[in-house]
Amino acid sequence: MAIVALLTMMAPSMAQEAKKGSYTPVDTPPASAQQVAIGFYPVSVYQLDMASNTYYVDTYVWMRWTGDIDPTGTIEFTNMVEEWGKQQENLLEEPKVIADGSRYQIMRVEGRFVQPFSLADYPLDTQKLSIMVEDTTNGADAVSYVIDKDSSGIGESLQIPGWKLSGWSAQTFTHDYGTQFGEDETPAVYSAAQFSMEISRPLSFFYWKLLLPLFIVFGAALSALLIRPQDLDVRSALPAGALLTTIFLQKSYSDDLPDLGYLILMDKIYLVVYALIVLTLIRAILAYKATADEGLDVVKAVAATDRKLLGLLILVFVVAVAAILMLR
């Protein structure tokens, strides 16, 4: 038992030690390194899949440098997956010497990239689609990337269905692996560059395709409070049916998302609706019991209370959704 307890106490620290490496933003490259200006120009993005955290990118990438090291032969797209489907082609047979004496090469790259998406604010989330490159052989003290911001950008024809393209950003890093991979002469720190396209969902997707159907179902459930308290079958069928429909509505958007260990924004709204529909169902049952053997005056009083409750539930729904949106 003592050994088990010791292992349990050691487990968190062992897990922390097992994770090595870090990315550090770089503003000024090392003086000893050969500087390589690198630029990006994506022309298309397609098959963006939230469930698998992947997307396909077709982009131009160019490099311009002065020095003995040719960085085009050691460049790696580190967040590209499915190497068998990768297409990478140098558009110039040999690096071109340009007017200032530096050498230049441009390539066309197409492939599937991976990017862990944060979906806590779904469907009002914003995402970054990144292309990460790194030198695979030369350490950061030998080759250092510098972003060619003047020439980089996004093709005018680039569109991502269902998303708004809000801009782009680029940054250079040093990637410290925290290891020399078992060989003392292998560098542990390499230069890396990241180009990111910033995208967001249009508000119409949230209001008209997700919130409106939910509000209609919620309204159908609340309409039970407008029916006579004695009609239990109808009054209970409406919120019960709405409850099942709400479950299916939630499943319809969840199927397009990966399995998450946290609640997203839309889930929180659905939790509010679930609670209000259940309260409506409970009210229908209690109102029936309260008027089962009572006179007309009691029935009218219960019906009047139902109408007030109807307004209160709508108010709670509006306030709760507004609060969830403001606190996200």
Q: Is the dihedral of CA 80, 82, 87, 93 positive or negative?
A: positive
Residue 297 pLDDT: 81
Is the pLDDT assigned to residue 83 strictly greater than 60? yes
Residue 118 pLDDT: 92
Q: How do the domains of the chain map onto residue ranges?
A: 21-201, 204-326
| DSSP classification of residue 255 | T
pLDDT confidence band for 183 (50 / 70 / 90): low
Is the pLDDT assigned to residue 4 strictly greater than 50? no
Residue 279, burial from CB neighbour count under 10 angstroms (0-12, 13-18, 19+): middle
pLDDT confidence band for 29 (50 / 70 / 90): confident
Mean pLDDT of 208-227: 95
Return the ∠ at Cα 292 (arms to 287 and 294), rounded to 5°.
100
CATH hierarchy code of domain 21-201: 2.70.170.10
What single string gives the DSSP state of each residue in 218-245? HHHHHGGGGS-TT-HHHHHHHHHHHHHH
pLDDT digits (tens, 9 = 90+) for 110-165: 999 999 999 999 999 999 999 999 998 899 999 999 999 999 999 888 999 989 99
Least confident of 166-170, 217-221, 228-232: 228-232
29 close to 142: Cβ distance less than 8 angstroms: no
Q: Into which CATH architecture does domain 204-326 fall?
A: Up-down Bundle (1.20)
| DSSP classification of residue 62 | E
Is the pLDDT assigned to residue 185 strictly greater than 60? yes
280 close to 221: Cβ distance less than 8 angstroms: yes
Residue 6 pLDDT: 42
Is the pLDDT assigned to residue 308 strictly greater than 80? yes
Residue 17 pLDDT: 59
Residue 14 pLDDT: 46
Residue 10 pLDDT: 47
Residue 30 pLDDT: 86
Residue 63 pLDDT: 97
Residue-averaged pLDDT of the chain: 89
Is the pLDDT assigned to residue 321 strictly greater than 60? yes
Mean pLDDT of 44-62: 94
- The residue ranking higher by pLDDT, 54 or 20, is 54
β-pair partners for 88: 109
Mean pLDDT of 52-71: 94
pLDDT digits (tens, 9 = 90+) for 30-39: 888 999 999 9
Query: What percent of the chain clears pLDDT 70, i.e. is strictly above it?
Result: 91
Mean pLDDT of 309-324: 95
Is the pLDDT assigned to residue 54 strictly greater than 80? yes
